[in-house]
């Protein structure tokens, strides 16, 4: 089973600052199968990044993804007020075929 | 416009059963893999089950805690995804989301999600 670990658990930043979120896998993950989601309270998750680095439709270019193997990063270049939320990474691989990380909460400092 | 609308949640006693439905529209339903993802109150996301699209044979898979108790299925003629949940336990309490995969097989990212349906397992 591939376990995803996200750090930090909480990231306290101000609007306009850069956010760097980490997702580490217990085994190598194909970059094709690594995704990032944003979730706001009371809402369903929203796909931000797929294939480790491709932005989903309608996602602003301040969101970027990078990484390979076991280490992946989501970067928000300049935080907007609407970006304060919880972010999850997700991988597809061996059983269970799909797993999510525990999430990183980005809150307002 | 893609829409996923879940229904069927509610309060059920431990050991009971529920069937969740997800009505899909706005895309060629039979082509894409679909999943159920749940979120317990105040917790993170947990993938529950997936079914591939017709191009990938309609294969299914489950997370270990629900194997043998839950069954995913799809009716492509009705553009509807189902999750039959039996032998429900308190730890199955969660909001259940249906999610559309970007591909015919799972793993390419969930690009559309429903609004979720709440399942509460309690006596």
Chain A partners within 8 Å of B97 (Cβ):
44-45
Nearest chain A CA: its distance from B97 CA (Å)? 8
Which of A44, A93, A97 comes nearest B50 by C-beta? A97
CA max distance for chain A: 40
Beta carbons of A96 and B108 less than 8 Å apart = no
Please tell me the predicted confidence (pLDDT) of residue B79. Answer: 97
| The two three-digit tokens of residue A37, written as one number | 């989601």
DSSP notation for B27-92: S-GGGS-EEEEEE-TT--EEEEEEE--GGGTT-EEE-GGGTTTEEEEEETTTTEEEEEE-S--GGG
A100 touches chain B (CB under 8 A): yes
Is the peptide bond prior to A96 cis by the omega test (within 30 degrees of 0)? yes
Does the beta carbon of A67 lie under 8 angstroms from any beta carbon of chain B? no
HSE (side-chain half, CA atoms, 13 Å) at B23: 4
Residue whose C-alpha is closest to residue B5's, from B92, B109, B97: B97
- Using 50 as the pLDDT threshold, list the residues of chain A that sit under it: none
Task: Compare all CA atoms of chain A with the CA of B107 and give the residue at the minimum distance.
Answer: A92
Which pLDDT score, from 0 to 100, does residue B93 have? 98
Q: For B103-115, what is the mean pLDDT? A: 93
CA distance A63 to chain B (A): 16
Which tokens go with A35? 């995704």
Q: Which two tokens stand for residue B54?
A: 């017709």
Q: Which two tokens stand for residue A5?
A: 């670990």
Partners of residue B41 in chain A, C-beta under 8 Å: none
Q: Which helix (H) or strand (E) holds A92?
A: strand A86-92
Measure Cα distances from A78 to A18, A56, A64, A83, A106 in Å: 5, 18, 11, 9, 13
Q: Provide, rounded to the nearest whole percent, the portion of chain B with pLDDT above 90.
A: 92
Instruction: Please say whether the beta carbons of B19 and B83 come within 8 A.
Output: yes
| Mean predicted lDDT score pLDDT of chain B | 96
Checking if the pLDDT of B48 tops 80, the result is yes
Give mean pLDDT, residues B33-39. Answer: 97
The rounded distance, in Å, linking the Cα atoms of A23 and A64 is 14
Whether A42 contacts chain B with CB within 8 A: no
Nearest CA among A71, A65, A38 for reference residue A52: A65
pLDDT score recorded for residue A97? 85
pLDDT at B105: 87
Report chain A residues whose CB lies below 8 A from the CB of B33: none
Contact B44 A100 (CB under 8 A): yes
Residues across chain A: 109
Mean pLDDT of all residues in B4-21 = 98
Structure tokens of A55?
A: 């932005």
Q: d(Cα A59, Cα A55) in Å, to the nearest integer?
A: 6
State whether residue A65 sits within 8 Å of chain B by CB.
Answer: no
pLDDT confidence of residue B119: 98
CB proximity under 8 Å: B 13-42 to A: 35, 37
Residue B12 exposure: Cα atoms within 13 Å on the Cβ side: 22
Matching residue, tokens 């217990």 = A26
State mean pLDDT over B17-27: 98
- Enter the tokens of residue A15: 């609007």
């Amino acid at each position: 089973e591939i376990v995803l670990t996200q750090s930090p658990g909480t990231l306290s930043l101000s609007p306009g600052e850069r956010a760097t979120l980490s997702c580490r896998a217990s085994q190598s993950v194909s970059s094709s199968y690594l995704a990032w989601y944003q979730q706001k309270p009371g809402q369903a998750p929203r796909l931000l990044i797929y294939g480790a680095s491709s932005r989903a439709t309608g996602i602003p270019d301040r969101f970027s993804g990078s990484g390979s193997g076991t280490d992946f990063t989501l970067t928000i270049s300049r935080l907007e007020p609407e970006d304060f939320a919880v972010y999850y990474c997700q991988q597809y691989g061996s059983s269970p075929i799909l797993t999510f990380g525990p999430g990183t909460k980005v809150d307002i400092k | 416009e893609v829409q996923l609308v879940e229904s069927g949640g509610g309060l059920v006693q431990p050991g009971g059963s529920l069937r969740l439905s997800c009505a899909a529209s706005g895309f060629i339903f039979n082509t894409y893999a679909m999943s159920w993802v749940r979120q317990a109150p105040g917790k993170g996301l947990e993938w529950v089950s997936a079914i591939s699209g017709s191009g990938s044979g309609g294969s299914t898979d489950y997370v270990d805690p629900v194997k043998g108790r839950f069954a995913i299925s799809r009716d492509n003629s009705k553009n509807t995804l189902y999750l039959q949940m039996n032998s429900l336990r308190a730890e199955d309490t969660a909001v259940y989301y249906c999610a559309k995969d970007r591909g015919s097989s799972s793993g390419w990212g969930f690009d559309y999600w429903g609004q979720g349906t709440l399942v509460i397992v309690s006596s």
